[in-house]
Amino acid sequence: MAFIDEIKVHVRAGRGGDGVVRWRHEKGKEFAGASGGNGGKGGDVYVLGSRDLSILARYRNIKEFKAENGGEGMKDSCHGKNGLDLDIAVPVGSIIKNEESGYLIEIVRDGERKLILSGGRGGLGNEHFKSSLNTTPKQSTSGDPGEEADFTIELQLIAEAGLIGLPNAGKSSLLNVLTKAKAKVGSYAFTTLEPNLGEMYGLILADIPGLIEGASGGKGLGHKFLRHIRRTKTLLHCISLEEEDIKSVYKIVRGELKAYSGELWKKPEIIILTKTDLVDEITLKKRIKIAEKLSDKVYTVSILDDDSVKDFKDALTTILSKI
C-alpha cells in the first residue's frame, strides 16, 4: 500500500452568524419590543484518527478546508443555527503542525479526535441590549471570524516492524512474501520511493525506502526515510549477501540512525541476511558468524526458498508478539 505521507493545507473554522435587529409583533401589541436573536457559533475544526493510511491521497488536490458558518439570528428571540463542525480524517500516526504557532498535535489512535481551530462567536441581536434605560435598542453586532491557519499534516508510520537497509537489500521482496503486499520490486536501487505496508498475522510491517550514507543530512531520500521508522517498534535490518563486506554495510545504516536520532539507534533490531541463494554454503556460514558479532538476533532468508521464508515468518511472529 503506497500513500502520500505529507500535505500542506489552509484550514478555516466557521464564522459566527450576525445578530439581527427585529421587533416583536403580537396581536394587540404591535410594538412589543426588541426580539432580534443572537447569531449562531461558527463550526470548529477537528482532526480525527483513521486506520486508512492512504487517506492523505484524497486531499491531493484540496487546498482549503472550511467549517460551516453560523446562521444569522432570527426574529422572536430565536438563536441562529450553529455551524456544523468539520472533522478532517487523518491517518493514525499523523503529526499536525500549525505553521504559524508551531503547535503540534499527534494522532496515535483510531477514532482519536482533537480540536485544531475554534469557530467564531455569534453576534448579538438587539434583544440582548434591551434594558430599563434602553427599551428599544437598535444595535446588533456581527459574528466573529473563525480561527484560520496553515497546517502541515505529516504521517509517521506506526508499525510493529520496519524493514531498513541499503537500497536493493531485498526489503520490498521480503515484505511481499511475508505479507500480501504488492510492493514494487526491481533490480535497481530506489525502486521504493514511498513506504509500503503489509499485514502478517495482524502485525503491521513497513518497507521503508532505502537508506544511503549521508541520509541523516538529507542525501538520497534522507529524512523521508528516517522519519518513518521513529514509531516502529522493531527494526528489521536487511543486508544483502551480494555485499562482500556486510560489517561495513551494517555500520553505514547504524551510523545514519545514530546521527539522526539516538532514539532510533536504541530500538530493538534483528539482522536479516537476504538473498542466501546467491552465495555458497561456506560463504554463508562465514557471513552469519560476522553478523552474529553485530547482533544477537540473526536470520537468513531467500524469497526463492519457501522453507526459509516460513521459518523466518514463524520466528518473527513470535518475537514481535512479545514486544
User: What structural domains and CATH numbers belong to the chain?
Assistant: 6-155 (2.70.210.12), 161-321 (3.40.50.300)
Average pLDDT over residues 202-217: 64
> With 90 as the cut, is the pLDDT of residue 193 above it?
no
Task: Tell me which of 84-93, 195-204, 219-228, 276-285 is least confident.
Answer: 219-228
**Of residues 77 and 18, more confidently modeled:** 18
pLDDT, tens digit (0-9, with 9 covering 90-100), for 226-284: 666 777 889 999 999 999 999 999 998 888 788 777 677 788 999 999 999 999 999 99
Average pLDDT over residues 102-128: 95
**Of residues 154 and 215, more confidently modeled:** 154
Tell me the three cell numbers of residue 135: 427599551
Which position has the grid cell 469557530? 119
pLDDT classification of 47: cutoffs 50, 70, 90? very high
